[in-house]
Chains A and B, each alone.
Chain A
């Protein structure tokens, strides 16, 4: 069904100054198809149910609103203690000089802009494909926009178990940069990869990551979105899981004026496991939205959604999470929790947890809460001599712990805990 005329007008206005990037046959086909999808779906506006809690205006408008750079941060905080291959993007453009060679055992890494020149490429079967699958039942037209207009990103084909993680480092240098990045990751049977992402990327970022996980493969993903206060981002993570495969994703959002993170997961093989978690913290005009859609379409799959948000001084947190259990997806084990810690009365948390279940032998649970610091725990810590501000920070980290604990690797977990503690400490000064 085509979008109403008003929506079509908005899309045409937005597209009028844009042209599809040039490329070979495979990608041009994908981009043209995405453009058609975008025209059919229309861009999100505030009347859309799916955007009830988050105003899409600044993500949709033609020019990225200016975003000041974070002072004193040359490179985004990040995974120094981790053995990693660094791939650096500056304002959404890959910087080969600042990056390591695109060489890693068990992995083939190509830059999208290079692969786009060819007429045939393995990514053809994935680029825009998972995104398209994710457009139903709810449209995600900013992801279709991305598929059409992204000109940079990485295509990563994993056949083994590389000795290092891949760290996509996103540096923000221009106050008006408008980045569109599209990554495709394909894990073959039994393969394993850890992807780290760090940094604000640009004044405005539209990022899509499509991940195809074959039987018994494992994908770990840790993302920290960068502390620049005025940055904006809309991200989509699409994942499709085959039998006995594992997907674990954790995102940390500290600061940023507007962040919408969508995660769309399809469990299509039996006994697959998908965990998606997030820890967000912000103050003032911070607006952060986690929108998750998990589809169970196989036997005995497990999914977990764990989202925690710490909100101060009028900040807003949003969670829209859905578990859809398709007919026949028996023995599904689905879990979803979203919680906000409101450090003052001006902050707000808006949550819409949903379960839609068409199988009769499943276990699904969900919970959503918002609350203040636990007074009993605060008293206990203070009675041990810990000053109130420090005790509050400890309890805040305690609140976030369930999400952070979703990170399996201890070094990475410590890294994230350190960053979270740093954020709190800067506010105590």
Chain B
């Protein structure tokens, strides 16, 4: 599904190399987790994959179902099935959450040559999905993320994911700023989307999110590379011993 090969990325403005040869393959139906200390390049990887400005790919490739991601505009990547749940969802005053969701759903459908969803069908679907995430009608009406609590913002990200039904979901530190209950709610939302045709890449600092979203594969990232790959146990090892041991053996 998602195939990243020898990806090297520089920061455009600072002439600084962040990713130094990332290799990673996420298969359909699998959940991969990336863990790693601050500054290891985890978030950069998610930004580069989704097409944020300010990064320069100097080497390597990233494809989604065989299609070159790096050549596409962010909206094209989204329409191709890539979804990034933001670590810091952006507040957009004056644009209703519903309007935003519907615009996004229909823009993607249009890009794929599909018919737009009718207002009635959309409303029905969004209500159903929102309910399982405990998002009420009021929250759907409010401007996108404005005045939302940390937990509400993250739930809103998962709602977008549920509505857009992407092939490949990247979750960038979705657990940050969440209390235990909120984390469980978000994890349930993610788990409900697990599907043989869908891949997940979960970026996190901590093992606790992985208690709720059980990964198939865990990668440890450090200094712009993946230095170790293992099963779910690897996450537990990090939790108990920190990154120091792994980092020293990785060198």
Contact = CB atoms under 8 A, between A and B. Distances in A.
Contacts of B73: 382, 387-388
B104 interface: yes
A398 B94 contact: yes
B84 interface: yes
B52 A394 contact: no
A120 interface: no
A395 B108 CA distance: 18
A137 interface: no
B108 A385 contact: yes
B111 interface: yes
B189 interface: no
Given A388-B75, A394-B100, A383 B92 contact: no
A262 B32 CA distance: 61
Given A394-B100, A398-B94, A400-B94, A383 B107 contact: no
Given A382-B73, A390-B103, A377 B164 contact: no
B51 A382 contact: yes
B93 A401 contact: yes
A385 B95 contact: no
Nearest to A379: B52
Contact of A380 (B53, B89, B94, B164): B89
Interface in B99-122: 99-100, 103-104, 107-108, 111
Nearest to A403: B94
Contacts of B143: 398, 401
Contacts of B185: none
A399 interface: yes
A386 B86 contact: no
B74 to A, nearest CB: 4
A375 B93 CA distance: 15
Interface in B50-107: 50-53, 73-75, 77-79, 83-84, 86, 89-90, 92-95, 99-100, 103-104, 107
B148 to A, nearest CB: 14
B93 A383 contact: no
B79 A398 contact: no
A402 B164 CA distance: 29
B160 interface: yes
Q: Name A's interface SS.
A: helix
B92 A402 contact: no
A388 B204 CA distance: 30
Contacts of B94: 397-402, 404-405
Interface residues of B toward A: which range? 20 to 34
B93 A385 contact: no
B88 to A, nearest CB: 9
A376 interface: yes
Given A382-B51, A382-B73, A398 B95 contact: yes
Contacts of B100: 381, 384, 394
Given A388-B73, A400-B94, A402-B93, A375 B53 contact: yes
Nearest to B50: A383
Nearest to B160: A384
A389 B197 CA distance: 31
Contacts of B50: 383
Given A382-B51, A384-B104, A398 B78 contact: no
Contacts of A386: 75, 103-104, 107
A395 B92 contact: yes
Contacts of A379: 51-53, 74, 90
A166 to B, nearest CB: 29
Contacts of B89: 380
Nearest to B166: A385
A382 B93 contact: no
A381 B79 CA distance: 12
A399 B74 CA distance: 22
Interface in B155-172: 160, 164
Contacts of B77: 383
A387 B75 CA distance: 6
B92 A385 contact: no
Contacts of A381: 92, 100, 104
B79 A377 contact: no
A394 B93 contact: no
Given A385-B79, A385-B104, A390-B107, A397 B164 contact: no
A2 to B, nearest CB: 49
B75 A398 contact: no
B164 A385 contact: yes
Nearest to A401: B94
26 contacts: A375-B53, A379-B51, A379-B52, A379-B74, A381-B104, A382-B73, A382-B74, A383-B50, A383-B52, A383-B75, A383-B83, A383-B84, A384-B75, A384-B164, A385-B107, A385-B164, A386-B103, A387-B107, A390-B103, A391-B75, A394-B92, A397-B95, A398-B94, A401-B93, A401-B94, A402-B94
